[in-house]
Structure 1
Amino acid sequence: MGGWAIAVHGGAGVDPNLPLERQEQAKVLLTRCLNIGISALRSSLPAIDVVELVVRELESDPLFNSGRGSALTEKGTVEMEASIMDGHGRRCGAVSGVTTVKSPVSLARLVMEKSPHSYLAFSGAEEFARRQGVEMVDNEYFITEENVGMLQLAKEANTILFDYRIPTVGFDKCSAVVENPLQMNGLPISVYAPETVGCVVVDGEGRCAAATSTGGLMNKMSGRIGDSPLIGAGTYACEVCGVSCTGEGEAIIRGTLAREVAAVMEYKGLGLQDSVDYVVKERLDQGKAGLIAVSRNGEVAYGFNCIGMFRGCATQDGFMEVGIWE
Structure 2
Amino acid sequence: MVGWAIAVHGGAGVDPNLSPQRQEEAKQLLTHCLNLGISALRSNASALDVVELVVRELETDPLFNSGRGSVLTANGTVEMEASIMDGTKRRCGAVSGVSTVKNPISLARLVMEKSPHSYLAFSGAEEFARQHGVEVTENAYFITPDNVGMLKLAKEANTILFDYRIPTTGKCAGVESPVKMNGLPLSVYAPETVGCVVVDSEGRCAAATSTGGLMNKMSGRIGDSPIIGAGTYACELCGVSCTGEGEAIIRSTLAREVAAVMEYKGYRLQEAVDYVIKHRLDEGFAGLIAVSNKGEVAFGHNCNGMFKGCATENGFFEVGIWD
Question: TM range, normalised to the smaller chain?
Answer: over 0.9
- Alignment partners' CA distance in 2, 1:77 and 1:16: 30
Q: How many residues align?
A: 317
Counterparts of 1:10-25 in structure 2, within 5 Å, are: 10-25=10-25
- Alignment partners' CA distance in 1, 2:195 and 2:274: 19
User: 1:165 offset after TM fit, Å?
Assistant: 4.1
1:120-176 per-residue CA deviation (whole Å, 9 max, x = no partner) reads 00000000000000100001101110110110001111110111345x8xx79xxxx
- Alignment partners' CA distance in 1, 2:302 and 2:140: 34
| Number of the residue aligned with 2:190 | 193
Contact 2:225 2:246 in 1 (8 A): yes
- Alignment partners' CA distance in 1, 2:109 and 2:17: 37
- Alignment partners' CA distance in 2, 1:165 and 1:143: 18
Of residues 247, 264, 267, the one that matches 1:270 is 267
| Number of the residue aligned with 2:172 | none
| Number of the residue aligned with 1:259 | 256
Contact 2:15 2:165 in 1 (8 A): no
The sequence identity of aligned pairs, in percent, is 81
Q: Secondary structure at the match of 1:18?
A: coil
Q: Secondary structure at the match of 2:308?
A: strand
Contact 1:164 1:218 in 2 (8 A): no
- Alignment partners' CA distance in 2, 1:278 and 1:190: 29
| Number of the residue aligned with 1:205 | 202
1:251-297 per-residue CA deviation (whole Å, 9 max, x = no partner) reads 00000000000000000000000000001000000000000000000
Query: Structure 1, unaligned stretches of length 5 or more?
Result: 173-178
User: 1:181 offset after TM fit, Å?
Assistant: 3.7
User: What is the letter of the counterpart of residue 43 of structure 2?
Assistant: S
- Alignment partners' CA distance in 1, 2:50 and 2:165: 28
Contact 1:15 1:163 in 2 (8 A): no
| Number of the residue aligned with 2:27 | 27
| Number of the residue aligned with 1:176 | none
- Alignment partners' CA distance in 2, 1:306 and 1:10: 14
After TM superposition, the score normalised by the length of structure 1 is 0.96
| Number of the residue aligned with 2:312 | 315
| Number of the residue aligned with 1:51 | 51
| Number of the residue aligned with 2:247 | 250
Counterparts of 1:113-192 in structure 2, within 5 Å, are: 113-166=113-166, 180-192=177-189
User: 1:6 offset after TM fit, Å?
Assistant: 0.1
- Alignment partners' CA distance in 1, 2:36 and 2:81: 23
- Alignment partners' CA distance in 2, 1:74 and 1:270: 42
| Number of the residue aligned with 2:95 | 95
Query: Structure 2, unaligned stretches of length 5 or more?
Result: 170-175
- Alignment partners' CA distance in 2, 1:298 and 1:290: 20
Confirm whether residue 279 of structure 1 aligns to residue 276 of structure 2. Answer: yes
| Number of the residue aligned with 2:287 | 290
Confirm whether residue 233 of structure 1 aligns to residue 230 of structure 2. Answer: yes
| Number of the residue aligned with 1:76 | 76
User: What is the letter of the counterpart of residue 244 of structure 1?
Assistant: S
- Alignment partners' CA distance in 1, 2:219 and 2:165: 21
Contact 2:178 2:188 in 1 (8 A): no
Q: Secondary structure at the match of 1:28?
A: helix
Superposed structure 1 runs of 4+ greater than 2 Å apart: none
- Alignment partners' CA distance in 2, 1:221 and 1:184: 14
Contact 2:197 2:240 in 1 (8 A): yes
Contact 2:78 2:212 in 1 (8 A): yes
User: 1:26 offset after TM fit, Å?
Assistant: 0.1
Q: Secondary structure at the match of 2:291?
A: strand
User: What is the letter of the counterpart of residue 271 of structure 1?
Assistant: R
- Alignment partners' CA distance in 2, 1:90 and 1:230: 14
Contact 1:2 1:299 in 2 (8 A): no
CA RMSD in angstroms, aligned pairs only: 1.2
- Alignment partners' CA distance in 2, 1:309 and 1:142: 24
After TM superposition, the score normalised by the length of structure 2 is 0.96
User: What is the letter of the counterpart of residue 116 of structure 2?
Assistant: P
| Number of the residue aligned with 1:175 | none
User: What is the letter of the counterpart of residue 315 of structure 1?
Assistant: T
- Alignment partners' CA distance in 2, 1:2 and 1:308: 30
Contact 2:94 2:111 in 1 (8 A): yes
Confirm whether residue 305 of structure 1 aligns to residue 313 of structure 2. Answer: no
- Alignment partners' CA distance in 2, 1:181 and 1:317: 42
Q: Secondary structure at the match of 1:307?
A: coil
- Alignment partners' CA distance in 2, 1:277 and 1:53: 28
Contact 1:8 1:312 in 2 (8 A): yes
